[in-house]
Amino acid sequence: MANFQPVLLEAVGVPGGHTLKSYRERGGYAPLERMLKEKQPAEVTELVKASGLRGRGGAGFPTGLKWTFLPKDHPGPIYLCINADESEPGTFNNRILMEDDPHQVIEGIILSAYATRATTAYLYLRYEYPQCWDRLQSAIDEAYAAGLLGKDIQGSGFSLDLYLHRGAAAYICGEETGLIESLEGKRAWPRIKPPFPAIEGLFRKPTVVNNIETMACVAQIARRGVDWFRSIGVPADPNNPRDPGSYGPKLYCLSGHVERPGCYEAPLGITARQLIDGHGGGVWKGRKAKAVIPGGISMGLLTEAELDTPLDFAGPGKVGCLGLGTAAVVVIDETVSIVDFLHNSCRFFAHESCGQCTPCREGTAWSLRMLERIRAGKGRLKDLELLAEIGNTMGMMPGSTICGLADGAAWPIKNAIKKFRGEFEEYIKRTNPSGWMVTDPVPALPIVGAH
């Protein structure tokens, strides 16, 4: 690991690193030109499959395998959607890739479109990233002018159009079928699956939805090869035939109470502690961490004692977190009340629940109401049971919702109450000395600031 060189972030700090000229100087687009000449689309898919690349957007599904779900010999069109609706609290790695090295992303998009035989790609960009929009649009214009996008790319006979599509500040558009609905001009309500997008996606045609960092990884795999990619990260567990391993470099976003917040590239499997102490300069102000979010707020919480957990696809799950998610690590120091943290989390999900599935719409709203009540000094111990019940019953895992937003809302609740129960109980007893033991129904307080 001492020899680890960042590649996804190689343009960061390079003057003019976002331009086509700079990208070419670093070896960019040559792999694409070679692949278009030498390899069939299926061979590119095989390459990505062999690399073990798993999607970087949060779910970690093997990218090459996802591509093989497209129907064979489909008359088309096939669509490629690039998910740049990065909205998971704590996450900004895609913003940095798009701002500092848009051509790396675009090369990955062209390769992925070639592999999947997509002839139109839409890059769905969140509204909050105006600088990314400008950088991407200039890079797309450069790529068209250089014959890297458009008709008959580099004389290969392969054509691709790439369009930017602007979101409107809704977290749910990062869910792949919510994104598709939004692109189609509808409310971004996730679809019931199956059919999966590979069979029936955008405009009811076969569709692949991939994340920005995944696209950058595809470009680097084409440039540096499968062996390079597989030499980094955590190999598949030989005792678990269902573990696809965690290969390759990963962008970790470090924020919250650290000395040096930032986006750091490291091999998959770095521990939270190595990241915080090694890259982040430690917890700020010489304090200790109370809790650490391992991969975006949806993933739940690590305690201080769990900070040696490796942040690969399998690691956080072993200590009760939802998963690696977006690998956004947020440090919460010992001075923060866990009640305040959970209130912030519940407010986020109550705001962002799309309202389609009742358990999520009501579960997120009522968990926020309960946290408001606890913070107002009217909490009861029974509220912790109710919160846990909400956490255990809303989501795809208990089978009550269409998409995973509710699982992401549930995990911080479940982890916080399980791992920090003592602090909740102490807070409730201290702030509501005369009513903490009441178990009768109580009226909700008027809700403040959810919307």
Question: Encoding tokens for residue 274?
Answer: 């190595």
Q: Does residue 163 contact residue 120 with C-beta atoms inside 8 Å?
A: yes
Name residue 443's beta-bridge partners.
Answer: none
373 binds other proteins (CB under 8 A): no
Output 85 or 245, the one with its CB closest to other proteins. 85
Three-state DSSP at 34 gives helix
**Applying CB under 8 A, which of residues 32, 183, 276, 357 lies at the interface with other proteins?**
183
Name the minimum Å distance from CB 294 to other proteins: 13
How many Cβ atoms sit within 10 Å of the Cβ of residue 191?
A: 19
Tell the residue number behind the tokens 């519940």, with chain if given. Answer: 346
Which of these ranges, 23-31, 254-262, 302-310, 419-427, lies near other proteins under the rule CB under 8 A?
254-262
Which of these ranges, 47-55, 350-358, 367-375, 437-445, lies near other proteins under the rule CB under 8 A?
350-358
Name the minimum Å distance from CB 123 to other proteins: 12
105 binds other proteins (CB under 8 A): no
Closest C-alpha to 32, from 220, 222, 212: 222
**Applying CB under 8 A, which of residues 216, 263, 268, 394 lies at the interface with other proteins?**
263
**Applying CB under 8 A, which of residues 233, 261, 323, 391 lies at the interface with other proteins?**
261
Count of all residues that appear for the chain in the document? 451
367 binds other proteins (CB under 8 A): no
Name the minimum Å distance from CB 237 to other proteins: 32
Query: Which amino acid would we find at residue 265?
Result: E
Closest C-alpha to 390, from 424, 373, 413: 413
Output 26 or 250, the one with its CB closest to other proteins. 250
166 binds other proteins (CB under 8 A): yes
213 binds other proteins (CB under 8 A): no
89 binds other proteins (CB under 8 A): yes
Output 221 or 352, the one with its CB closest to other proteins. 352
C-alpha 9/C-alpha 327 separation (Å) is 16
Name the minimum Å distance from CB 86 to other proteins: 5
Q: Does residue 345 contact residue 367 with C-beta atoms inside 8 Å?
A: no
C-alpha 337/C-alpha 209 separation (Å) is 38
**Angle at CA 386, nearest 5°, toward 439 and 449?**
105
C-alpha 39/C-alpha 78 separation (Å) is 20
262 binds other proteins (CB under 8 A): yes
Q: Does residue 184 contact residue 178 with C-beta atoms inside 8 Å?
A: no
Q: Does residue 360 contact residue 393 with C-beta atoms inside 8 Å?
A: no
Site for other proteins in 382-411 (CB under 8 A): none
**Applying CB under 8 A, which of residues 171, 252, 313, 366 lies at the interface with other proteins?**
171
User: For binding to other proteins (CB under 8 A), which residues are involved?
Assistant: 77, 86-92, 94-95, 126-131, 161, 163, 165-171, 182-188, 203, 253-257, 261-263, 293, 297, 328, 330, 332-333, 336, 341, 344-345, 347-348, 351-352, 354, 449, 451
